[in-house]
Amino acid sequence: MPPIPDNVLNRLAQHQLPCKWAWAWFAVLSVEAQQARLTELADYIQQAHPTPALVQQALTEAPVKPTATPLVLLRIHGLPEALRRIQQLPPPEYPNAFRALLSLFRVADAHRRRTQCQHGCTHDWHNLPPLS
């Protein structure tokens, strides 16, 4: 696996790294590191302020079965409660949780970049240098 770039979750959200790379990267992390990445993603999602419509869009785009626990939680609970419950899932659910949360972050962050940051912004994570 190539070296891990800085701002990996933001680069994934901005399609600078492929999903297959993301799944492989996440799979080799320790359980503790996986939990930390899920917490980080949940924080980033909350900062992106997804609307219910964006959550629904992410649910349809997420590369997991519609019956996967993280998607069900996002479907039946409000966002803060769903994120809390997803972070409390057991480790075997972490890969699906990662895929679901990454999908939501991608959708919400893309919307924010198109609307609030369309004419440029000072968010470091929206102005990442290209990968070399």
pTM for this model (two decimals): 0.85
Count the domains in the chain: 1
In this predicted model, which residue has the larger pLDDT, 19 or 113?
A: 19
Within a domain: 130: no
Q: What does each C-alpha distance from 116 to 9, 17, 41, 111, 121 come to in angstroms?
A: 20, 23, 20, 8, 8
Q: How confident is the model at residue 10 (pLDDT cuts 50, 70, 90)?
A: confident
* 17 in any annotated domain: no
Q: Is residue 113 part of a domain?
A: yes
pLDDT of residue 110: 85
59 lies in some domain: yes
- pLDDT, one tens digit per residue, over 86-127 is 999 999 999 999 999 999 999 998 888 778 666 666 555 555
**Residue 105's domain spans which residues?**
30-118
pLDDT reported for residue 117: 66
Decide if 31 contacts 39 (C-beta within 8 A). no
In a domain, 9, yes or no: no
CA gap 124, 112 in Å, rounded: 14
Which candidate, 8, 1, 3, 4, places its Cα nearest to that of 128? 8
Q: Helix-strand-coil percent breakdown of the chain, rounded to 5?
A: 65, 0, 35
Q: Using DSSP, how many helices (H) and how many strands (E) does the chain show? A: 7, 0
pLDDT tens-digit readout, 47-92: 999 999 999 999 999 999 999 999 999 999 999 999 999 999 999 9
Name the strand (E) or helix (H) holding 9: helix 8-13
